Structure 1
Amino acid sequence: MDKKYLQMIGKCSRCGGCQAHCPLYLETGREPFVARGKIELLDNLAAGKLVWNDKLAEVFSTCLLCGSCTENCPNGVEPDKLVRLARKDLVAARGLPIIKRNVLQHLLKHNGRLNTAGRLLGLYQKSKLQLLIRNTGFLKLISTNLANIEGLLPQITGQPFRKNVPLLNTVDAPRLKVAYFTGCATNWLNPHIGRSVVKVLKAYGVEVVVPEQYCCGVPALSSGDMDTGRYLARENIRNFSELDVDYIITDCASCLSAWLEYPELLENDDALNLAARVMDINRLLVEILDVSIPAKESGVKVTYHDPCHLKRTPGGRTSPRELLKRLSPYYEFVEMDLADRCCGSAGSFNISHYELSQSVVKHKVASILDSKAEIVATACPSCMMQLGHGLKKNNSDVKVQHTIELLAHLL
């Protein structure tokens, strides 16, 4: 363990204040799942009193990396970073599980393979094979969790967004020129969000470049696979450093957080210079473009869910809310309880820990329903899937949409 790692462990006073803020501890009451418990285990690992084993691997995989403990720690400890460092050590000691290794190292690093996987999933859905498997209950015969996880899948188009949009989307007399980092989810699962981003930016006089790009690296970095994370970061920096643009924008909170970590990850000037120009689409619209919205009457009630990765960035809490307020009177914004509490998605956590993730999201679903909103807006595709799944399980007809979709609808 490096010196920085050990110093951070030493800052923890074991006060237990993190218990009040950890969604997983609040669900389970289990000390190993909260920051204090994990730090105590790391202290013993550092001292050589413990070695990595299956039980410890499970404990350190059981973390949302939501950052609530970090935000509320009186001693400035950053447990989410410690967990990621621990996962790096775990991978070094024991390697990655075979499925995760193949996804991270043999799929995400190769766009051609990722595109093939997307087409196959799209074919699975469109060929009625998905319907047949669901109706026969085949997956439940194998595993109830497998059936539940398959239910998380949104409709896949089979055609990636970036294959159907020009490299350069021009406007007359442009105010700005931006590069659009779509991320994997928009490219494959939510091309309608990508179309909304381009439509809105062009409407406000912004030229949009959609270059070749790779996964942002969050799945690898969160899993402790630093080599794959660095590879993906370097490829993205290489592709975007050649562009003459004012900003790099994204509609995905996780992608934004990854880009903001590139300077520390790569330790080079290109990463530092590009990260300084990366911005969430909501912030660009509110702080840079200062958009005004054509007034239209309707009164559709909308609430908002804070993605964990976005709320900790500049303007991450305020810009989406300000944008929604500017959509009045067509949309009526209402704040819900627990708006900034993690929804339990955390990338692939809702796959690897399905039941626990559903226990977490049920509180968010209750808050959404209590708000009486017809739409819950957010700015993270992963959160959208989790919220949509949770609402569907509750037989709710509340829609889950990206903030940019709501604005695009009015233009």
Structure 2
Amino acid sequence: MDEKYLDNLKKCSRCGGCQAHCPLFSATGREPYVARGKVELLDHVRSGNLQWNDKLAEIFSTCLLCGSCAENCPNGVQADRLVMMCRKELVADRGLPIIKKNIFQHLLKYNGRLNAMGILLYLYQKTGVQKLVRTSKVLELMPMDLARIETLLPPVAGRSFRKTVPFLNPVDHPRLRVAYFTGCVTNLISPHVGLSVLRVLQANQVEVVIPEQYCCGVPAFASGDFATGSFLGQANVREFSRYPVDYIVTDCASCLSTWLAYPEWLESQGADQLVPKIMDINRFLVEVLDIKLNPQELGIKVTYHDPCHLKRTTGGKSAPRELLKRLSPAYEFVEMGLADRCCGSAGSFNLSHYRLSQKVVAPKVKSIEESGAGLVASACPSCLMQLNHALRNNESPVQAKHVVELVANVM
């Protein structure tokens, strides 16, 4: 492991302050799941007192990588980065689980296969197969809470977003030209979010280019498969380097944070040149375009959930809230008590640790309902899927929507 990461072991004083900020510790009370516990275990691994084994692999896989421990650590311990590097070592030492190996290396690398998977899921939902599977309860016989995990899947689009829109979306006398990184969820599951992005940008005289692109790599990086993550990152850098643009925008907090880490994780000079252009769509609309809105009177209360991967980036907390405030009086913005608490989605964490992820999101659902809002907005497609799932399970009428959807609604 790189010395710059191992320095974190020396910084940790084992004070336990991370316990107060760790969503997993709040949900379980288990010391190995908190940063201090993981640092202690890693210290023993580095000293030779422990060897990587199944139990340690399970412990280090049980982390949201939300960064709350690092953000609040008085000694500046980057425990989330340590966990990622441990997962990288685990993959090098023990390999990937067979399911992740096939998904990362035989699916994420190939857009054609991803699109085909999207079509299959669409047909699964639309042809009655999903209803039959659920009625038969066959998934309840499967391991890994598969029956519950299957309910996480929202309605899937019949065709990918990037297949339905042109590569170039021109406007007369453009103010700016941007490239749009759609991310996998918007592309395959939530094309309405992508259409909202296009509508808002074009209405503000911004020309949009949508290059060929791949998964940002965050599922692979977060699982320790840096080889696949680097392959995907380098492919994205190569494709986006082809087009002269003023900015690269994305509607996905996880994609943004991964792009921002490309210079650290990729051996690519192009990443250093592109990353200064990458920007969250909310920040772009507020700080670059300073968009003006003329919403009509509706008065729907809306609250906001901070995605972990966005709130620590420049403008990541302020820009979405500023947009929501500009939507008044169509939407009345109200803060909720646990706005910046992780929702438990964490990319694919809610797939691999379904029950634990639902324990993590439960206080969030309660906070949303206590806010009195009829909608909860966010800026991460993965968070939105998790929130809508948890709200449905709680029989709540509240819906989760992307901020840019609400902006498009009032234009």
TM-score normalized by the length of structure 2:
0.99
* Alignment deviations for residues 150-178 of structure 1 (CA, whole Å, 9 cap, x no partner): 00001111200000001000111111100
* Alignment deviations for residues 300-341 of structure 1 (CA, whole Å, 9 cap, x no partner): 100000000000100000000000000001100000001000
Whether 1:106 aligns to 2:113 is no
Alpha-carbon offset, residue 267 of structure 1 = 4.1
C-alpha separation in 2, matches of 1:101 and 1:139: 22
C-alpha separation in 1, matches of 2:267 and 2:88: 18
1:276 counterpart SS class? helix
The aligned residue for residue 188 of structure 2 is 188
| Residues 287-302 of structure 1 aligned to structure 2 (within 5 Å) | 287-302=287-302
C-alpha separation in 1, matches of 2:300 and 2:35: 40
C-alpha separation in 1, matches of 2:60 and 2:252: 25
Whether 1:270 aligns to 2:240 is no
Question: How many residues are paired up?
Answer: 411
Compare 139-148 and 369-378 and name the one that shifted more: 139-148
| Residues 7-406 of structure 1 aligned to structure 2 (within 5 Å) | 7-143=7-143, 145-406=145-406
8 Å Cα contact 2:152/2:386 also seen in 1: yes
Alpha-carbon offset, residue 138 of structure 1 = 1.9
C-alpha separation in 1, matches of 2:304 and 2:6: 38
Identity of aligned residues (%): 65
What are structure 2's unaligned runs of at least 5 residues? none
Runs of 4+ in 1 over 4 A off after TM superposition: none
Alpha-carbon offset, residue 56 of structure 1 = 0.2
User: What one-letter code is carried by the residue in structure 2 that aligns with 1:166?
Assistant: P
* Alignment deviations for residues 209-242 of structure 1 (CA, whole Å, 9 cap, x no partner): 0110000000000000001011001000000001
* Alignment deviations for residues 107-134 of structure 1 (CA, whole Å, 9 cap, x no partner): 0011111111111111111111001111
User: What one-letter code is carried by the residue in structure 1 that aligns with 2:245?
Assistant: V
C-alpha separation in 1, matches of 2:207 and 2:182: 15
C-alpha separation in 1, matches of 2:221 and 2:158: 27
User: What one-letter code is carried by the residue in structure 1 that aligns with 2:31?
Assistant: E
2:75 counterpart SS class? coil
Alpha-carbon offset, residue 137 of structure 1 = 1.8
1:76 counterpart SS class? coil
C-alpha separation in 1, matches of 2:402 and 2:4: 38
C-alpha separation in 1, matches of 2:189 and 2:249: 18
* Alignment deviations for residues 19-62 of structure 1 (CA, whole Å, 9 cap, x no partner): 00000011111110000000001101111111110000000000
C-alpha separation in 1, matches of 2:220 and 2:115: 18
What are structure 1's unaligned runs of at least 5 residues? none
Alpha-carbon offset, residue 143 of structure 1 = 4.5
CA RMSD of superposed structures (Å) = 0.9
1:109 counterpart SS class? coil
1:376 counterpart SS class? strand
C-alpha separation in 2, matches of 1:196 and 1:323: 14
8 Å Cα contact 2:305/2:377 also seen in 1: yes
C-alpha separation in 2, matches of 1:363 and 1:6: 34
8 Å Cα contact 2:144/2:352 also seen in 1: no
User: What one-letter code is carried by the residue in structure 1 that aligns with 2:215?
Assistant: C
Alpha-carbon offset, residue 270 of structure 1 = 1.3
Alpha-carbon offset, residue 144 of structure 1 = 7.6
C-alpha separation in 1, matches of 2:323 and 2:332: 12
8 Å Cα contact 2:378/2:403 also seen in 1: yes
C-alpha separation in 2, matches of 1:268 and 1:93: 26
2:145 counterpart SS class? helix
C-alpha separation in 2, matches of 1:144 and 1:34: 23
